[in-house]
């Protein structure tokens, strides 16, 4: 959050709330006459099969008028592209000022024969989200009679309140190919003063550029002395869209502007970090209620680890409103509780948000006499932390750090059911801002070992003479896989959890198998693996005369190739390192004999991954064992070929078959006919 205000005259300038919705804005003075090539085009060579293409975008910000203006020309190339006729323009309305309005909406549709259909409808307002004194709204409208081959053209303006300013954000790259775009910003020449408790004067403009090669952001002084920023781009590819992609939303082409009183990034993080830390310490305390709770929960003879385990277990029992819901002021009052202003309130109310609960754990650790710190991270399922982007808004969640015997240990009490001493995967290896003695520092949370996230799948089956099996399947989830199901339990209920677990196993096993969940360990017992037991029945193989072909690993029979393409433009990004172990045991009747089984194999991927499969048999049974371990979660494009080769070998082996053969039926005896 960053709040700025004008110094001459003194007025408020809110940036923090608005930055979240500050997509670039633009302006156009007139409609553009389409060229014959634009009217007749049916595709864009750089993006075969694209639904639509931006012919032109223009985004202009004029601080003097508190205005952002946008002009868009888009060519519809397929039926799917017709969806771009539905336009939704977001804006925010804040209770403390700094609201945005959207107006001057105009549009038209141009058919491929040049026919023009103007937009004469009236946009309507739609509530997107409401919370913390801000309404997030949208103006929604649909352009008329859009067909494949049409050109969609529209423009609109966003206005701020008269005394408010906001630096623009230019998002150059989108989901569509952009032929050309123009961006321009005319900043205010007024001196600004921060309104975030610092009261610093500033007329400095900073920016974070991520631009294509050979693309330059220009800044120039006009004859009247005013500064103007200007950017032209051409032939911008759409943002990549591949499986197993890193959160590159933060790395797409863009320019992020902001007014800043700071001369360097180091100065920003030091000063803003100090304020951030002070705010957290004020909330943390610890107060009298937290101190009393720590005394009652721990014993003087406890080691630091024993104390922390008891405190962690206590905060894990609180209601985490990120997985349920926040109470309204009226509900809190009716329950005889207080609004939360400190960790004492969190403890007394027995509920809080994930950040509040994490901060409570820090407060308790401090009350127990330990050094404890808050760290705010950028969740790596959503974004990557960019130190060069000078904004605290990129930080998502709080985690806790406690120093024990000179070593920092990381905890995630705000992630309900996350085991002691571990982090939810989106917080592991995530960077952000942390408290240190005497200040703050940019830091990275530690990674989780591949041994932490573990899935065991065991099938113990018996086959009859018709090839149908009955038996049990046992699933065991540890670490991130267990946390996934436990969070599903929190946001749903026990019935929905059981249903979803059964459905997930049904999707893994052959289609001819019926699955029934027979037992489930306590989902709230987060320090233990989540254990599930199923009974299954049905056909698992396919018959070819005297032979029955059974998938080697029943749990991988429906798996699709992970990397079907031979080239990759972006890094491969798995959620987390992990390992899985499968054991499939099939007992077959005497009428069947084992004709062939998969050979044993071990496939390494340098030191990053390993895959093993082995088969062992007796005269009436076979056991398949499959082990897979992934020790790294990100692979660069230059490593893709080796990764793809590894997966191809693994997937090919997974699809091999066990072949059972039945004895040939005895030939019928011939009885001589009676004379």
**Whether residue 528 has pLDDT greater than 70:** yes
Interatomic CA distance for residues 147 and 39, integer angstroms: 12
Note the pLDDT of residue 336.
66
Res. 332 pLDDT band, cuts 50 70 90: low
pLDDT digits (tens, 9 = 90+) for 349-403: 999 999 999 999 999 999 999 999 999 999 999 889 989 888 898 999 999 999 9
Mean pLDDT (the chain, rounded):
88
Q: Can you tell me which residue has the tokens 């005895």? A: 666
Read off the pLDDT of each residue in 300-306 and give the average, rounded to a whole number. Answer: 95
**Whether residue 602 has pLDDT greater than 70:** yes
At 326, is the secondary structure helix, strand, or coil?
A: coil
Res. 668 pLDDT band, cuts 50 70 90: very low
**Whether residue 613 has pLDDT greater than 90:** yes
Note the pLDDT of residue 605.
96
The two tokens of residue 418 are: 């996350």
Q: Are 583 and 547 in contact (CB under 8 A)?
A: no
Interatomic CA distance for residues 544 and 546, integer angstroms: 6
pLDDT digits (tens, 9 = 90+) for 456-499: 999 999 999 888 999 999 999 999 999 999 999 999 999 999 99
The DSSP code for 420 is T
At 327, is the secondary structure helix, strand, or coil?
A: coil
**231: β partners:** 183
Q: Are 494 and 523 in contact (CB under 8 A)?
A: yes
Per mean pLDDT, which range of 49-53, 295-299, 303-307, 392-396 is the poorest?
Answer: 392-396
Note the pLDDT of residue 131.
58
Per mean pLDDT, which range of 23-27, 139-143, 602-606, 654-658 is the poorest?
Answer: 23-27
Read off the pLDDT of each residue in 255-279 and give the average, rounded to a whole number. Answer: 89
Between residues 442 and 64, the one the model is more confident about: 442
Res. 95 pLDDT band, cuts 50 70 90: low
CA 646 to chain centroid, in Å, comes to 26
Res. 21 pLDDT band, cuts 50 70 90: very low
Per mean pLDDT, which range of 225-234, 323-332, 397-406 is the poorest?
Answer: 323-332
pLDDT digits (tens, 9 = 90+) for 447-458: 999 999 999 999
Res. 260 pLDDT band, cuts 50 70 90: confident
Note the pLDDT of residue 155.
95
Read off the pLDDT of each residue in 303-329 and give the average, rounded to a whole number. Answer: 88
pLDDT digits (tens, 9 = 90+) for 127-179: 877 755 577 888 999 999 999 999 999 999 998 887 778 889 999 999 999 99
The two tokens of residue 188 are: 């205010």
Read off the pLDDT of each residue in 308-319 and give the average, rounded to a whole number. Answer: 96
**610: β partners:** 604, 629
**Whether residue 306 has pLDDT greater than 80:** yes
Note the pLDDT of residue 127.
84
Nearest to 467 by CA among 551, 553, 534, 557: 551
pLDDT digits (tens, 9 = 90+) for 168-196: 999 999 999 999 999 999 998 887 766 55
User: Is 0.85 surpassed by the pTM of this model?
Assistant: no
Cis, peptide link before residue 639, omega less than 30° from 0:
no
**Whether residue 92 has pLDDT greater than 80:** no
Interatomic CA distance for residues 279 and 271, integer angstroms: 13
Cis, peptide link before residue 468, omega less than 30° from 0:
no
């Amino acid at each position: 959050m960053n709040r700025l205000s004008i110094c001459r005259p003194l007025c408020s300038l809110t940036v923090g709330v608005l930055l979240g919705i500050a997509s670039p804005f633009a302006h156009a003075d007139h409609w553009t006459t389409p060229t014959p090539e634009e009217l007749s085009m049916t595709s864009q060579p750089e993006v075969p099969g694209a639904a639509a293409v931006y012919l032109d975008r223009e985004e202009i910000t004029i601080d003097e008028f508190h205005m952002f203006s946008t002009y868009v020309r888009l060519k519809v190339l397929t039926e799917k592209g017709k969806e771009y006729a539905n336009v939704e323009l977001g804006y925010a309305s804040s209770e403390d000022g700094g609201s945005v309005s959207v107006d001057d909406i105009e549009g038209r549709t141009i058919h491929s024969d040049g026919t023009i259909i103007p937009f004469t409808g009236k946009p309507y307002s739609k509530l997107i989200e409401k919370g913390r004194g801000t309404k997030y709204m949208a103006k929604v409208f649909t352009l008329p009679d859009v067909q494949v081959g049409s050109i969609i053209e529209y423009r609109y303006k966003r206005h701020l309140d008269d005394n408010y300013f906001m630096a623009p954000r230019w998002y150059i790259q989108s989901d569509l190919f952009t032929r050309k775009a123009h961006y321009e910003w005319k900043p205010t020449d007024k001196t600004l003063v921060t309104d975030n408790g610092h009261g610093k004067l500033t007329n400095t403009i900073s920016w974070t550029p991520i631009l294509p090669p050979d693309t330059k952001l220009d800044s120039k002084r006009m004859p009247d002395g005013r500064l103007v920023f200007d950017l032209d781009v051409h032939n911008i590819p759409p943002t990549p869209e591949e499986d197993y992609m890193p959160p590159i939303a933060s790395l797409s082409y863009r320019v992020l502007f902001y007014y800043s009183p700071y001369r360097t990034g180091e100065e920003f993080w030091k000063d803003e970090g100090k304020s951030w830390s002070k705010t957290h310490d004020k909330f943390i305390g610890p107060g009298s209620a937290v101190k009393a709770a720590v005394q009652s929960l721990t014993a003087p003879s406890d080691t630091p680890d024993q104390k922390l385990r008891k405190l962690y277990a206590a905060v894990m029992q609180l209601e985490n409103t990120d997985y349920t819901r926040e109470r309204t002021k009226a509900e809190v009052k009716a329950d005889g509780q207080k609004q939360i202003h400190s960790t004492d309130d969190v403890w007394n109310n027995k509920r809080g948000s994930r950040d509040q609960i994490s901060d409570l754990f820090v407060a308790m650790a401090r009350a127990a006499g330990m050094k404890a710190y808050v760290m705010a991270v950028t969740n790596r399922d959503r974004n990557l932390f960019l130190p060069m982007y000078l904004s605290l808004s990129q930080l998502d969640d709080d985690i806790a750090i406690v120093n024990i015997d000179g070593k920092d240990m990381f905890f995630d009490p705000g992630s309900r059911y996350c085991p002691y001493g571990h982090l939810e995967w989106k917080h592991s290896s995530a960077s952000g801002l942390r408290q240190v003695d005497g200040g703050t520092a940019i830091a990275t949370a530690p990674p989780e070992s591949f041994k932490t996230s573990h899935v065991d799948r065991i099938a113990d089956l018996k086959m009859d003479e018709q090839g149908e099996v009955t038996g049990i399947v046992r699933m065991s989830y540890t670490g991130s896989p267990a946390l996934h199901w436990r969070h599903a339990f929190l946001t749903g209920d026990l019935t929905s959890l059981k249903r979803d677990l059964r459905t997930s196993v049904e999707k893994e096993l052959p289609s001819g198998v019926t699955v029934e969940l027979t037992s489930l360990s306590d989902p709230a017992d987060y320090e233990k693996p989540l254990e599930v037991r199923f009974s299954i029945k049905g056909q698992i193989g396919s018959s070819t005369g005297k032979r029955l072909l059974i998938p080697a690993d029943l749990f991988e029979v429906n798996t699709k190739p992970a990397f079907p393409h031979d080239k990759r433009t972006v890094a491969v990004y798995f959620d987390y390192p992990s390992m899985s172990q499968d054991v499939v045991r099939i007992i077959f009747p005497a009428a069947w004999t084992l004709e062939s089984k998969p050979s044993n194999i071990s496939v390494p991927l340098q030191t990053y991954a390993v895959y093993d499969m082995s088969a062992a048999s007796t005269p009436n049974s076979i056991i398949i064992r499959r082990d897979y371990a992934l020790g790294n979660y990100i692979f660069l494009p230059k490593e893709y070929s080796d990764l793809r080769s590894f997966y191809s070998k693994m997937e090919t082996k997974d699809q091999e078959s066990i072949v059972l053969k039945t004895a040939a039926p005895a030939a019928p005896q011939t009885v001589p006919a009676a004379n």
